[in-house]
Amino acid sequence: MRTASVKRATKETSIAVSVDLDGKGVYRVSTGIGFLDHMLEQLSRHSLIDLTVEAKGDLHIDFHHTTEDTGIALGEAVAKALGDRQGIGRYGFAMIPMDETLTRVSVDASSRPYLIWRVGFTKPKLGDMDTELFKEWFKAFSQSAGLTLHVENLYGENNHHIIESCYKGLARALRQAVEIDARRKDAVPSTKGVLGGSL
User: How far apart are the C-alpha atoms of 152 and 183, rounded to whole Å?
Assistant: 31
Q: Note the pLDDT tens digit of each residue in 100-143.
A: 999 999 999 999 999 999 999 999 999 899 999 999 999 999 99
Q: Note the pLDDT tens digit of each residue in 77-90.
A: 999 999 999 899 99
- Fold of the 3-184 domain: Ribosomal Protein S5; domain 2 (3.30.230)
pLDDT of residue 181: 86
pTM listed for this prediction? 0.93
Strands 91-98 and 50-57, how do they pair? unpaired
Overall average pLDDT of the 7-12 stretch: 96
Spell out the domain ranges in the chain: 3-184
User: How far apart are the C-alpha atoms of 98 and 115, rounded to whole Å?
Assistant: 23
Alpha helices in 108-197 (DSSP H): 133-145, 159-178
